[in-house]
């Protein structure tokens, strides 16, 4: 933390972000946080971008440089950095925060960056565009609603992959339950098939003692999370929905 923010200050900041459930307030919060976001989440030992990209690359066929990837809720570009390190070069990103997009643009890793608030508007891409779509760290109350999941499917190629993450700490369990119900309904409809649901004990440091409880198995103060990986089915056109569905 080069600019001197203490771990307790970072925990308080991230804890406050978890408590914001109004989307407009959340986006404003992220605009203000963007310049210090990377160093703050590093202080919390946040590992979701690396673990999600590891999960995706193990299942994605073909050489990485040929794959067209969409990073949804891309933030400052932490996922793009992990993808670039593994040889991926064709990266597109979308986010609802202009401040976060400014930081992502400065990395120089994306071929295309777009302002898009998923859940309020469709993704700015045609149906069946991407070999893989990732959304890391944005599936919680006040961020991306579960109702937006079919939009990720819409822009994924037939046979392409969708990788999602969410926290499994106590304050996010209600959202996780609703998310899994949505994921399961899409699978039952034949839209995609689940390849993996990978629990992670050490997701990031807990922001308070209240977060170290049910759903948190690590004794060193870490909260837990989970990574989901799906493959879009060939007949998923209708189940994937239309723009804005």
Hey, what domains does the chain have and what are their CATH numbers?
47-198+224-232 (3.40.50.150)
CA 219 from centroid of its chain's CA atoms: 25
Q: Which of 138, 210, 220 is nearest to 169 (CA)?
A: 210
Q: List Cβ neighbours of 106 (8 Å cut-off, separation of 6 or more).
A: none
- Partners of 226 in the beta sheet? 166, 199
Predicted TM-score (pTM) of the model is 0.91
Q: Note the pLDDT of residue 9.
A: 93
Q: Which of 60, 81, 80 is nearest to 131 (CA)?
A: 60
Per-residue pLDDT of the chain (245 residues; tens, 9 = 90+): 345 689 999 999 988 888 888 888 999 999 999 999 999 999 999 999 999 999 999 999 889 999 999 999 999 999 999 999 999 999 999 999 999 999 999 999 999 999 999 989 999 999 999 999 999 999 998 899 999 999 999 999 999 999 999 999 988 999 999 999 999 999 999 999 999 999 999 999 998 776 765 544 444 789 999 999 999 998 644 444 444 43
Alpha-carbon Rg for the chain, nearest whole angstrom, is: 17
Q: Note the pLDDT of residue 3.
A: 57
């Amino acid at each position: 933390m080069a600019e001197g923010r203490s771990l307790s200050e970072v925990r308080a900041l991230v804890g406050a972000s978890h408590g914001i459930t109004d989307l407009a307030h959340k986006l404003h919060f992220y605009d203000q946080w963007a310049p210090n976001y990377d160093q703050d989440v590093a202080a919390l030992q946040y590992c979701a971008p690396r673990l999600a990209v590891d999960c995706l690359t193990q299942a994605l066929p073909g050489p990485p440089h040929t794959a067209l990837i969409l990073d949804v809720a891309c933030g400052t570009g932490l996922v793009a950095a992990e993808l670039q390190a593994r040889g991926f070069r064709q990266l597109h990103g979308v986010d609802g925060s202009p401040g976060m997009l400014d930081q992502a643009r400065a990395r120089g890793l994306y071929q295309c960056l777009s302002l898009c608030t998923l859940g309020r508007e469709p993704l700015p891409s045609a149906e069946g565009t991407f070999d893989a779509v990732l959304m890391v760290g944005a599936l919680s109350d006040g961020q991306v609603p579960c109702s937006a999941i079919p939009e990720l499917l819409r822009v994924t190629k037939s046979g392409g992959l969708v990788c999602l993450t969410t926290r499994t700490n106590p304050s996010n369990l209600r959202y996780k339950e609703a998310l899994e119900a949505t994921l399961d309904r899409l699978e039952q409809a034949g839209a995609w098939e689940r390849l993996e649901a990978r629990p992670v004990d050490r997701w990031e440091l807990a922001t308070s003692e209240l977060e170290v409880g049910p759903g948190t198995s690590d004794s060193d103060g870490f909260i837990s999370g989970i990574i989901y990986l799906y493959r879009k089915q060939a007949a998923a056109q209708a189940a994937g929905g239309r723009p804005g569905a």
